[in-house]
Structure 1
Amino acid sequence: MARSLVACRLAFQVQSISGVALAVILSLALSWRLDLVAVAIQTAAIRAFYLKAKMMTSMSKKMLQSQNRSNELASEAVGNHRIITAFYSQEKVMTLFKEAQIGTTVDYP
Structure 2
Amino acid sequence: MGVGIRPLARRFPECFLLPGGSDSRRILAVGDPDSTGEYPVLAVDVDDLPFVGLMYPGFDVYLAHTAGLFTAEFPTYTALFDHEVYGRRMREHAKLRFGGDSCAEWPF
Q: Same fold (TM over 0.5)?
A: no
Q: RCO higher in 1 or 2 (8 Å CA, sep ≥ 6)?
A: 1
Structure-2-length-normalised TM-score:
0.22
Structure with bigger gyration radius: 1
Q: Which of the pair is proportionally richer in strand?
A: 2
Q: Which of the pair is proportionally richer in helix?
A: 1
